[in-house]
């Protein structure tokens, strides 16, 4: 189940984000009944979360809170089910960041959702090799998503 709660005060295509999340879960072979929560928040709330949980000052674009530490299965393994976790997005922050990244706000929010979901699945970008793997996978998922919805 994919649950989206928009507390940001910003207009966001919530049904589109649900479709994207379902697409990513399917592409990565995560069980369709795995639970994912997406929370859209304003900047003061994101600042509070960022300072409380990561001890970083100010707002950020996306935070991920894994629950059952599900992982992408090997080709011969069954898709895992359980609680994937929570992705918290800040649309106002993403809108400003979109300009810097040369994207539309919608595309930036989609990119951040995929990024946050990959973190829930154990991907990270702490080292150059981890970053290369995670960002390549994220880029591929976004490209596949964009290609299939044309």
**Pairing mode, if any, of strands 35-40 and 83-89?**
parallel
pLDDT of residue 134: 96
Domain tally, the chain: 1
Asked if 109 contacts 12 with a C-beta cutoff of 8 angstroms, the reply is yes
pLDDT of residue 20: 97
Residue ranges in the chain modelled with pLDDT below 70:
none
pLDDT of residue 149: 80
pLDDT of residue 67: 93
CB burial readout 1-17, b (16+ within 10 A) else e: ebebebebebebeeeeb
Residue 119 neighbours by CB under 8 Å, 6+ apart: 64, 66, 87
| Report field, pTM of the whole predicted structure over 0.75 | yes
pLDDT of residue 15: 96
Q: If you compute the radius of gyration of the chain from its CA atoms, what whole number of angstroms results?
A: 15
CA distances for 32 relative to 22, 23, 27, 80, 81, angstroms: 8, 10, 11, 9, 8
Beta strand spans in the chain (E): 2-6, 35-40, 62-66, 83-89
Give me the domain span that covers residue 109.
Answer: 2-148
CATH of the domain at 50: 3.40.390.30
Q: How large is the greatest C-alpha to C-alpha distance in the chain, in angstroms?
A: 44
């Amino acid at each position: 189940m994919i649950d989206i709660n928009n507390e940001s005060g910003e207009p966001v295509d919530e049904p589109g984000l649900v479709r994207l999340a379902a697409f990513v879960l399917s592409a990565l072979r995560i069980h369709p009944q795995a639970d994912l929560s997406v929370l859209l928040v304003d900047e003061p709330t994101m600042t509070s979360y960022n300072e409380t949980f990561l001890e970083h000052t100010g707002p950020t674009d996306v935070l991920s809170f894994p629950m059952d530490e599900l992982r992408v299965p090997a080709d011969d393994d069954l898709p895992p089910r359980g609680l994937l976790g929570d992705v918290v997005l800040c649309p106002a922050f993403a809108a400003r960041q979109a300009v810097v990244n040369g994207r539309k706000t919608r595309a930036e929010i989609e990119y951040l959702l995929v990024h946050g979901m990959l973190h829930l699945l154990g991907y990270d970008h702490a080292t150059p090799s981890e970053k290369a793997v995670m960002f390549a996978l994220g880029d591929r998922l976004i490209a596949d998503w964009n290609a299939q919805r044309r």
